[in-house]
Amino acid sequence: MLGRRVFTGFAALILVTASARSLAAEVLSWEDCVRETREKNQDLVSAKKKVEEAWADRAVTRSAVLPDVSASSSGTRRSTDDVETTAYSAGVSGQQLVFDGFKASHDLAAARENIKAAEYNYAVTSSNIRLELWSSFIGLLGAQEALRVTQDILDRRQQNVDLVTLRYQVGREHRGALMTAQANLSEAQYDLEEARRNVSLYQRRLVKAMGREVFGPVEVRGDLVVPVSGEEPPSFEKIVEASPLLKQVVAQKESARFGLKAARASLFPKVYINAGATRSGAKWLPETEGWSAGVSMAIPLFEGGKTQAHIRKARSAFERAEADERSERQDVILTLAEAWTQWQNDVSFVFVREEFLRASEERAMIAEGQYSSGLVTFDDWTIIEDDLVNYQKSVLQAKVNALVAEGSWLQAKGVTIDD
């Protein structure tokens, strides 16, 4: 009896501690988590910066087709046989690319495809972050519910110990039954402590997914509601066309294709228009004016095979990108099929588990009365009690699995944190 009172006091202490933490915890909805993740998640920030880098690269590439204008000035003083002379000059010169075999236009097209690839990479990153956030959110919601379920189980196990103890004291039950009931109570105590630790763990996962740098206890609000199953399989071959992951690979392939065209264009001559105006004289500002205008052309004759090597490299990159696209398309289709199938299976499993739970609750209610009256043995009764406890746990876990599977299905389709 003393041991039972000590345990009861310990369990109460756990609940008081958990309640105190709960009162201090910040309560968040799913929308709150999404809003903060958009602002603070560093992987999302990094993906945004990659898009900005791609736009900057396009601006660098575009500069090749714009006029190149520069200004210069100089002043010199010379002394020869004690005779000093001064000379000043100032001028403006410019150069405009006229023809380069369309290399610049191909480079610019490749840069545009790189922007698309960076934007799709952002969408892929955002989709992955949404899944991480959703899994952490549902995990914490499930852990909070598990704390309540395990407390109910603990209370039930305590009542069972009390009942078996009374029967043991009057000689209607053997010591093995009492020890089994006490062992079940110890297991329930462990489950409660485990649930409490899992709450803390999922709090950290959620805080990390949101991008917070400092951990603080949080609590989420929501319901573990699983939709009714029975959805017909969608056309995965159609869905794949909207996948940001596949679109990213396609953009990379197109960039490689324009890169190959640009490498081949390096074999063509480059034609420029040049113009300039100068002033020179012995004092500042120079007064003697001059100007120049012309056309220049550069023809590559021999570069040690560098251009041909660049072409071979660009061709290999393009062919590799084509192979990546074909492979990625099939991978994404398979991922979609697997994610949808797992989601539907997990949803159906929830309703099966719930039926078993309702049946076990009914059996447990009947069996408790029968055991109290001596109509069933302890061995039969404890099996029914164990089934009830196991189904209570399994229903909760099945709901969590189904909701996480739904998140994986949305991630496979490419749903982002902004959708």
Please state whether the peptide bond connecting residue 285 to the residue before it is cis, i.e. omega within 30 degrees of 0: yes
The DSSP bridge partners found for residue 96 are 273
Residue 99: partners with Cβ closer than 8 Å, 6 or more residues away = 268, 269, 270, 271
How many CB atoms within 10 Å of residue 273?
A: 14
Q: Can you give the pTM of this predicted structure?
A: 0.83
Q: What is the DSSP string of 28-62?
A: E-HHHHHHHHHHH-HHHHHHHHHHHHHHHHHHHHH
Each residue's pLDDT expressed in tens, for the chain with a length of 419 residues: 434 444 455 444 444 444 444 456 799 999 999 999 999 999 999 999 999 999 999 999 898 888 888 998 888 888 777 777 888 888 898 888 888 888 889 999 999 999 999 999 999 999 999 999 999 999 999 999 999 999 999 999 999 999 999 999 988 989 999 999 999 999 999 999 999 999 999 999 999 999 998 998 999 999 999 987 667 889 999 999 999 999 999 999 999 999 999 889 888 888 889 988 888 887 777 777 888 888 888 888 877 888 889 899 999 999 999 999 999 999 999 999 999 999 999 999 999 999 999 999 999 999 999 988 889 999 999 999 999 999 999 999 999 999 999 999 999 999 999 88
pLDDT at 5: 46
pLDDT at 22: 46
Q: How far apart are CA 398 and CA 351, in angstroms?
A: 9
Break the chain into its structural domains and give their ranges: 2-77+84-413
Q: Which CATH class is domain 2-77+84-413?
A: mainly alpha
Q: How far apart are CA 363 and CA 151, in angstroms?
A: 21
pLDDT at 16: 44
Q: How far apart are CA 197 and CA 260, in angstroms?
A: 56
Rounded to 10 degrees, the C-alpha dihedral 29/35/40/44 comes to 120
Q: How far apart are CA 163 and CA 104, in angstroms?
A: 87
The DSSP bridge partners found for residue 293 are 275
- Which is it for strands 26-28 and 218-220: parallel, antiparallel or unpaired? parallel
Residues 222 and 141 sit within 8 Å (Cβ to Cβ) = yes
| CA neighbor of 398 nearest in space, from 355, 348, 336, 335 | 348
Residue 137 host element (H or E): helix 103-169
Query: Which residue matches tokens 């500002």?
Result: 285
The DSSP bridge partners found for residue 28 are 220
pLDDT at 6: 41
